[in-house]
């Protein structure tokens, strides 16, 4: 017990310490607080992307539920997360997102929609959608973590929620985006080490990998008479598994807390480097989590079951870990704490900045300078964390839904509304305002109607996961189709140049200078020698004073 508590104390101390260390840079301006001044390097950006991607929702909720249903084939979800959700997202969205948001001076996704499609209504509507539908996902982050704490310490659920909320509030309110990404990097390292150690340890309890696979192959999957379905290449239900892959992989392309990572990265080369780093991270974390969950059937006699005989999916992974040594359990707790708090910090920072900049500023509060904006964002960070914590406790006590369902509702509505307008808005100049509204209505409408019908009777689509996946695909199709019959919003779509947005700003300054030093400055920019650039700036200032 002492080891577990010590690891938690060290983790919390580091997280708060990072917030204190980065607080000065976060207080300079809004761009610094929510985007780190658009100057975040590839390693920090890649780890921030990965740790925001994977939380207790994946490790406890999805890995347990889909590992139980699909066996080792659930690993396909992890592979999809790495290839589609990370590598392709960085390649396809990264450079253009950095280019266009820099050009439009957009700091949030609603601001991008408002300026790209020249519509204040779209900006306000997208901000409202983000605020409403990020709450279920945030609540699910608390839930998964707290189940592990209950297993390890016997601490009441409510105290787990309060503790996590307080620590997250402290370091995000103090240090903003930079505190988040620095903590994400440190937490990501813990996650990489932890998932590797846990997989090895759990399989050893079953006699090693080979023996575990043999045992799993002897378990009969529902709906089939043949053995070996849980160890087969495609699993017992590949079509429904594909719904999981689409939701969890393609969904990141339309989630504001994920896409916003591309706003903050500092250069073109950094995007290429970040793509590789984030892909490797996803392979290890997501692939490892689903691979581990694939052996959940071996613990069928130990997990909890509902009154109707259905497995309590959220109990599967904690049950698999319950017999590990204290040090490993402590490592797992820090692992999931890292994943959950990094995701939570990203969610609350996104929500509070969107609410401040896209709903309150200019609509409710007309005169809001930089300092006031930061104060509002910080205050709303606290409010949003409190609201999501209350919902998490209510959901736990009333057993409204499972973790995976909560995530499916959130991801389906957000990505179903935003994926098409974001993707096509970066690549096509023929997209209309009506097409964006159509995507918003279909994405939110399909997900919400399906959820309501599920509560009162029979849903349109039995699985909220599949409903979310369908909403995303429809978004990609609807936007160009509706644009064919409606007037496009004029916008110049230029492919991003090899240089970063920051470098292009410097080039523009150089071109505007009649000084003979301009050619020298251009060479320095190409070599990224910032110290020499600053030295030349000082020389320019001295000449002006003379």
pLDDT in tens, 65-74: 999 999 999 9
Contact in structure between 349 and 366 (CB atoms under 8 Å): no
pLDDT at 470: 92
Question: Which of 27-36, 212-221, 449-458 is the most confident on average?
Answer: 212-221
Dihedral over alpha carbons 162, 19, 32, 46 (to 10 degrees): -90
Query: Does the pLDDT of residue 26 top 90, yes or no?
Result: no
Give 539's pLDDT tier (boundaries 50, 70, 90).
low
pLDDT in tens, 154-194: 777 788 888 888 999 999 999 898 999 999 999 899 889 88
Give 456's pLDDT tier (boundaries 50, 70, 90).
confident
Give 325's pLDDT tier (boundaries 50, 70, 90).
confident
Query: Does the pLDDT of residue 411 top 90, yes or no?
Result: no
pLDDT in tens, 211-239: 999 999 999 888 777 788 899 988 888 88
pLDDT at 517: 52
Helix (H, G, I), strand (E, B) or coil at 460: coil
pLDDT at 506: 47
pLDDT at 267: 65
Give 388's pLDDT tier (boundaries 50, 70, 90).
confident
Share of the chain above pLDDT 70, in %: 86
What tokens does 85 get? 């959700």
Say which DSSP state 546 is in: -
Query: Does the pLDDT of residue 30 top 80, yes or no?
Result: yes
Query: How far apart are the C-alpha atoms of 143 and 413, rounded to whole Å?
Result: 20
Closest CA to 112 of 545, 424, 531: 424
Query: How far apart are the C-alpha atoms of 174 and 182, rounded to whole Å?
Result: 13
pLDDT at 406: 61
Give 514's pLDDT tier (boundaries 50, 70, 90).
low
Share of the chain above pLDDT 90, in %: 38
Contact in structure between 506 and 533 (CB atoms under 8 Å): yes
> In angstroms, what CA-CA distances link 317 with 164, 197, 291, 543?
20, 15, 12, 67
For all residues of the chain together, what is the average pLDDT?
Answer: 84
Flag whether the pTM goes above 0.85. Answer: no
pLDDT at 530: 47
Between 68-82, 132-146, 242-256, 516-530, the lowest mean confidence (pLDDT) is in 516-530
Mean pLDDT of 527-546: 52
- Write the DSSP assignment of 70-97 as a string of letters: HGGGGHHHHHHHHIIIIIIHHHHTHHHH
Query: How far apart are the C-alpha atoms of 434 and 479, rounded to whole Å?
Result: 9
């Amino acid at each position: 017990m002492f080891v577990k508590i010590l690891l938690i104390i060290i983790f919390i101390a580091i997280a708060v310490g990072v917030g204190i260390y980065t607080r000065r840079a976060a207080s300079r301006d809004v761009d610094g607080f929510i985007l780190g001044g658009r100057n975040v390097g590839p390693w920090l950006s890649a780890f921030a992307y990965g740790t925001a991607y994977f939380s207790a929702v994946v490790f406890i909720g999805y890995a347990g539920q889909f590992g139980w249903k699909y066996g080792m084939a659930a690993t396909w979800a992890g592979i999809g997360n790495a290839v589609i959700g990370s590598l392709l997202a960085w390649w396809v969205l990264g450079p253009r997102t950095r280019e266009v948001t820099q050009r439009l001076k957009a700091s949030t996704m609603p601001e991008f929609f408002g300026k790209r499609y020249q519509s204040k209504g779209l900006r306000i509507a997208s901000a409202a959608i983000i605020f409403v539908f990020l709450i279920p996902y945030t609540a699910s982050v608390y839930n998964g973590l707290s189940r592990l704490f209950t297993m390890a310490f016997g601490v009441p659920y409510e105290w787990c929620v309060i503790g996590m909320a307080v620590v997250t509030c402290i370091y995000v309110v103090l240090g903003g985006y930079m505190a988040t990404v620095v903590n994400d990097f440190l937490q990501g390292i813990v996650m990489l080490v932890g998932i590797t150690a846990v997989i090895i340890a759990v399989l050893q309890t079953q006699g090693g990998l080979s023996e575990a696979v043999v045992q799993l192959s002897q378990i009969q999957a529902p709906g089939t008479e043949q053995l070996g379905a849980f160890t087969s290449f495609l699993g017992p239900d590949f079509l429904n598994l594909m719904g999981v892959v689409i939701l969890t992989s393609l969904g990141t392309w339309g989630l504001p807390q994920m896409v916003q990572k591309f706003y903050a990265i500092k250069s073109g080369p950094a995007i290429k480097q970040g793509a590789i780093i984030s892909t490797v991270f996803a392979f290890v974390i997501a692939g490892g989590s689903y691979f581990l969950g694939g052996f959940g059937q071996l613990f069928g006699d130990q997990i909890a079951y509902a009154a109707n005989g259905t497995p309590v999916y959220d109990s599967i992974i904690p049950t698999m870990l319950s017999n590990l040594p204290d040090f490993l359990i402590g490592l797992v707790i820090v692992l999931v704490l890292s994943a959950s708090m990094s995701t939570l910090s990203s969610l609350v920072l996104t929500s509070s900045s969107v609410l401040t900049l896209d709903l309150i500023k200019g609509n409710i509060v007309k005169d809001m300078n930089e300092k006031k904006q930061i104060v509002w964002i910080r205050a709303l960070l606290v409010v949003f964390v409190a609201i999501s914590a209350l919902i998490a406790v209510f959901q736990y006590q009333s057993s409204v839904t499972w973790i995976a369902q909560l995530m499916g509702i959130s991801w389906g509505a957000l990505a179903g509304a935003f994926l098409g307008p974001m993707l096509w808005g970066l690549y096509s100049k023929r997209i209309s305002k009506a097409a964006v509204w159509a995507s918003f209505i279909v994405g939110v409408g399909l997900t919400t109607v399906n959820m309501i019908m599920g509560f009162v009777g029979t849903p349109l689509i039995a699985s909220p996961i599949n409903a979310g996946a369908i909403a995303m695909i429809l978004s990609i199709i609807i936007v160009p189709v509706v644009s064919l019959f409606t007037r496009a919003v004029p916008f110049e779509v230029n492919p991003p140049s090899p240089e970063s947005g920051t470098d292009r700003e410097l080039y523009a300054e150089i071109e505007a200078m009649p000084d003979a030093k301009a050619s020298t400055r251009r060479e320095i920019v190409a070599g990224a020698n910032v110290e020499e650039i600053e030295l030349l700036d000082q020389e320019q200032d001295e000449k002006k004073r003379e």
